[in-house]
A = this chain, B = another copy of it.
Amino acid sequence: MNSIKRKDGRADDSLRPISLETGVQPYAEGSALIRWGRTQVLCAVSVSPEVPGWLKGREKGWITAQYAMLPRATFTRNPRAGYDDARVKGRAQEIQRLIGRSLRAGVDLALLGERLLTVDCDVLVADGGTRCASITGAWVAVRLALSGLLKQGVLKRDPAVDSGAIWAVSAGLVDGNPMLDLAADEDQRAEADFNLVFSGPRTLIEIQGTGERRGYSWSEVETLHRLCQGAGPAVQTAQEQALKAARP
């Protein structure tokens, strides 16, 4: 289990550069374009008073997400939902359920009131880690939408939970080595692939760990968890800088 060189020269425990640009979709209540290495995801939040039917009259809000790739986000063109291939694929469904769940963990839905936040995550370029980039970028867009509601007096108290930002990062076992933040070429080679979602520095919201090519031991899980947790300061700093720049 020797360390191998990564294509971009990164150490096994280092992140790709992350930056966030806000306001790219000016009509949205909140929007952020996240660049995470070559990966780019455009996140937009829409606020509406129409909560899902089962929630009506319960004085609580909801957050739902839709995730899609533009056809040429990837190396080969993938067909567009509603065209060649009428259905939304299982992978997209799985990811958007994860995004929605993660964001809801960061918001007090009772404080949000009977309001629906719909979060659109559209992948412009996909070089691995799109689900983690989506969660991380979408959190910034959600915070901007909540700021707008506070500024307009629609909300009296910020429903974002105290425990800290919602963020996510991936890790995996590549040629036997635990590695942080896999790019697409590494992801394809990985024996096992983990996505962890955090609320603040240490609290976990979601663990998804899949043995793609082999099973893995509990001690490998422990190592991957440590790698992911170590990425927290860098990811959260990128989020905070974007929020600060957007609300001077």
Q: A residues near B, CB below 8 A?
A: 24-28, 31, 38, 42, 44, 46, 48, 66, 68, 70-77, 80-83, 86-88, 90-91, 93-94, 96-97, 101, 105, 118, 120, 122, 124-125, 163, 198-199, 202-212, 214-218, 221, 225
Contacts and interface: CB of A to CB of B under 8 A. Distances in A.
Given A87-B82, A210-B101, A74 B203 contact: no
A71 B120 contact: yes
Q: How many copies does the complex hold?
A: 6
Contacts of A82: 80-82, 86-88
B207 A221 contact: yes
Contacts of A81: 80-83
Given A24-B124, A46-B77, A81-B81, A218 B209 contact: no
Given A86-B87, A87-B87, A204-B218, 11 more contacts: A25-B125, A26-B125, A44-B71, A80-B82, A80-B120, A83-B88, A91-B97, A94-B97, A101-B210, A105-B215, A122-B122
Given A70-B122, A72-B120, A86-B86, A207 B204 contact: no
Contacts of A75: 27
Given A82-B81, A88-B83, A90-B97, A72 B25 contact: yes
